[in-house]
Structure 1
Amino acid sequence: MERIGIEKGLEQGRGEGRHEGLRQALSSLLERRFGPLPPAARERVQTASADTLQIWLLRVLDAARLDDVFED
Structure 2
Amino acid sequence: MAEGKAVGIADGQVIALRKMVGALLHKRFGDLPAPVAQCIAQAAKDDLEQWFERSLDAPTLAAVFADDKTPG
Q: Same fold judged by TM-score > 0.5?
A: yes
Determine whether 1:43 maps to 2:38.
yes
Q: Which has the larger radius of gyration?
A: 1
**CA distance in 2 between partners of 1:30 and 1:14 (Å):** 24
How many residues matched? 67
1:65 alignment partner in structure 2: 60
Structure 2: where are the runs of 5+ without partners?
A: 68-72
Determine whether 1:24 maps to 2:19.
yes
- One-letter identity of the residue aligned with 1:55: Q
1:34 alignment partner in structure 2: 29
Q: Higher helix share goes to which structure?
A: 1
Compare 22-31 and 58-67 and name the one that shifted more: 58-67
Structure 1 stretches of at least 4 aligned residues deviating more than 2 Å after TM superposition: none
Q: TM-score, normalised by structure 2?
A: 0.88
Q: TM-score, normalised by structure 1?
A: 0.88
**CA distance in 2 between partners of 1:27 and 1:58 (Å):** 13
Please report how far the alpha carbon of residue 44 of structure 1 lies from its aligned counterpart in structure 2 after TM superposition: 1.2
Determine whether 1:55 maps to 2:50.
yes
2:8 alignment partner in structure 1: 13
Please report how far the alpha carbon of residue 37 of structure 1 lies from its aligned counterpart in structure 2 after TM superposition: 0.7
**CA distance in 1 between partners of 2:15 and 2:36 (Å):** 16
CA RMSD for the aligned pairs?
Answer: 0.7
1:3 alignment partner in structure 2: none
